[in-house]
Amino acid sequence: MGRRPRAVRLAIPAAFVAVLTLVALWRVSAPAVPASGSSPVPEPLAALTQIAEVLADNSIGRRAEIEGVVIREVASARALWIGSDDSRVFVVLDPDVKNVSHVPILAGERVTLIGLVRAAPSEDEAIKEWALHPAVAKTVRERGTYLHVTEIRPGPR
């Protein structure tokens, strides 16, 4: 037997490399198939809609949309209380709060508040940032959460 031609000696390894390359590209580009019944992207959590939900410790970082709530007390130019006596929520208005309808921020007004639940700051920080009375700042800190409002709408009458 004679020697194989040079083209044959190079073609066999080249074909082998080509096949391996195609297999690798096919595996990389194939989308992952999720297991039956599961979603590859987690669903976002629904917005909190009840005052009691805002008070929970596990609500920090969640979006809240509370409709038709009555403003109970205005603590400062940017801070107020909503809810009933047994489940009051402290609310802080963002400096750039969206109030297109120019809803008055007065005790007794019915409003819809949209924002994020945040962890309460230290008493000193609350007094400095929101111009609160020390007793109010202490109460906010003890409750643990507050609602940072980015949008106010008129509530149902």
* Amino acid in position 123: E
| Per-residue tens of pLDDT for the chain, all 157 residues | 566 677 677 888 888 899 989 888 877 765 666 666 665 666 677 888 888 888 887 889 999 999 989 999 999 888 999 988 778 899 999 988 888 788 888 999 999 999 999 999 999 999 999 999 999 999 999 989 999 999 999 887 6
DSSP 8-state assignment for residue 136: H
CA distance 144 to 112: 22
Q: Which CATH class is domain 51-154?
A: mainly beta
Our CA dihedral for 130, 135, 141, 145, rounded to 10 degrees, sits at -60
The pLDDT score that the predictor gives to residue 39 is 59
